Structure 1
Amino acid sequence: MPIPFVKEFDPNYGQAVILAPNIRRLTAPNPSPFTFKGTNSFLIGTDTLALIDPGPNDKNHLQTLLKHIDSHPLSHIFVTHCHLDHCGLAKKIAQHTGAKIVAVGRYRHANNEAFSNQIILESGSQIDFKPDIDLKDGQTIEGDGWAITSVTTPGHMASHTAFALANSGILFTGDHVMAWSTTVIAPPEGSMRDYMHSLDKLLKRHDKVYLPGHGGAVYKPHHFVRALKTHRKIRECAIFNRLAKGDCDIKTIVQTLYRDTDPKLHKAAALSVFAHLEDLVARNLVKTKGAPSLYGHYSIS
């Protein structure tokens, strides 16, 4: 089942795209191989507003957000996860508006094992991120004409959460599910096992549309999520087969499995393979000496 990616997307930098009477999308001008055309911020409401993912610490995006918030009160800033391309402006927007920052916990690793060899991706993380309101799974924040409920979706990051807008059928999925690409799972912040469980969690829901943190909407959520699961299972089998043929390290596996992929994305690919191997080791299907490592040697158990 191929993933039905949608690559067409107009970011309309500096403008607010009206998606519904109470939802506006504003895309930050931070395009890259990892952020697509930029990070999507969403203004919710018509009177007192909420903001989902303020985006990167970018002067132009800050001015765009403040322009469209205008004289409306902003009560809450919801953050899907604390990668800097999503939360970088949270404190500045809070200082300008008095809004409370809302998220599911502080920055943390998915795995408590020591990882000495971690590749840091372009967006980075705000290690000292601390929300004013620490949400639990299923907790709802009510505002003026809107209610937003947390749906924890660890995988891309341990503290990643999606947000459901009441009575709309819309789920804001951050980087967990995106129409333009699969997400990066990068240990120790991310976990393949958590990611797969979070996909299963979404399949139990009845959302009609996903609005991701990058790119356009996902209009057939269950079909798309099932395709993502199939893709990861196929990749897992491919990695296992490379081990069976004698490949024993991540670099060699990446050179084979991602030979047609832009070399700029090979670091992310290495982390994805690492995430799969970490999961396979936890399931006793693959073995390595000590804790799984980016530069470790692996073999079939």
Structure 2
Amino acid sequence: RALEGETVTHVLVTHGHSDHSPLATPLAQWAGCKTYAKNCGVPTAKGELGSADDLGFMPDVKVGDGDVISGPGWTLDVIETPGHTCNHLCFGLREENACLSGDHIMGWSTTVVAPPDGDMGDYMRSLDKIQSRKFDTLWPTHGDPVRGREFVDHFITEYANHRRAREAAILDQLRAGQSSIPEMVKVMYAEVDKRLHPAAAMSVLGHMIELIKTGVAVSPDDKPTVRSHFELVKTPV
């Protein structure tokens, strides 16, 4: 009904999670057009929480950083923003200086960065990348739009600050001798509905893997999970 009287020429997919990509191919077939995305992403490890990838999805046209998709009266710049997933894309609408931000920046909550597909270091760099574009509006796929250049800048800064605050809290837990992610979550997310603790644990794991990459923490497991144990190597300067 929403498309009555309209012509759909492109179906754009920000990433392959199961709440995003499953309708893409049927919609494109109905409209007689093609799907556009980077690729299908990486499956979440069995038993780990996270939005399962739609592994049956593969775009008709693969696009990446710097590609341009256009039509009558609109021009979209493809912006690679890995972090939430390895294949996440945002799309910059030139005519409105707006960003279709997918799950990279949501309007109602912060984004889960869940390994193995999610990467916290990539995520923080991608936030900087979008912030540097100085968009006037963010159109997320979850939550309300973020409007006004100054507010967009502030919103992204607060997004990054939230992740830094979580990292600081994890370091405090490690300094106190806590080595278990589920036990950390009980303290760090004490005010959060316990039903969300498994998702919180995945974000903590994302931070922990980044701390291991930067030499701040260590785990005896080559491929750490939320059930692994961790310890502090050194306090970052």
Scaled by the length of structure 1, what TM-score is found? Answer: 0.73
Letter in 1 for 2:19: D
Q: What is the CA-CA distance between 1:106 and the residue it aligns to? A: 2.4
| 2:9 matches 1:79 | no
The aligned residue for residue 234 of structure 1 is 165
User: Aligned to 1:246, which of 161, 177, 180?
Assistant: 177
Cα deviation per residue 1:149-193 (whole Å; 9 max; x = unaligned)? 111111111101111112211101011111211001110111111
The aligned residue for residue 171 of structure 1 is 99
Q: What is the CA-CA distance between 1:231 and the residue it aligns to? A: 1.1
The aligned residue for residue 3 of structure 1 is none
Matches within 5 A, 1:1-301: 67-108=1-42, 118-121=47-50, 123-219=51-147, 220-289=151-220, 290-301=222-233
3-state DSSP class of the match of 2:146? coil
Which ranges of structure 2 fall in alignment gaps of 5 or more residues?
A: none
Distance 1:251 1:117, change over 3 A: farther
Q: Is the 8 A contact 2:36 2:62 kept in 1?
A: yes
Cα deviation per residue 1:95-137 (whole Å; 9 max; x = unaligned)? 211121001122236xxxxx8665233x422013210110010
- Counting aligned pairs with the same residue, the percent is 36
Q: What is the CA-CA distance between 1:218 and the residue it aligns to? A: 1.1
Q: Is the 8 A contact 1:185 1:271 kept in 2?
A: yes
Letter in 2 for 1:294: V
Scaled by the length of structure 2, what TM-score is found? Answer: 0.92
Q: What is the CA-CA distance between 1:78 and the residue it aligns to? A: 0.4
Letter in 2 for 1:92: P
Letter in 2 for 1:218: V
Aligned mates of 1:280, 1:165 — CA distance in 2: 35
How many residue pairs match? The answer is 229
Aligned mates of 1:257, 1:95 — CA distance in 2: 46
Q: Is the 8 A contact 1:150 1:161 kept in 2?
A: yes
Aligned mates of 2:45, 2:32 — CA distance in 1: 39
Higher helix share: 2
Q: Is the 8 A contact 2:81 2:89 kept in 1?
A: yes
Distance 1:117 1:225, change over 3 A: same
Q: Which has the higher contact order (CA 8 A, sep 6+)?
A: 1
When the two chains are superposed, the root-mean-square deviation of aligned CA atoms in Å is 1.5
Aligned mates of 1:117, 1:283 — CA distance in 2: 27
Q: Is the 8 A contact 1:281 1:292 kept in 2?
A: no
Q: Is the 8 A contact 1:107 1:130 kept in 2?
A: no
Q: What is the CA-CA distance between 1:293 and the residue it aligns to? A: 2.1
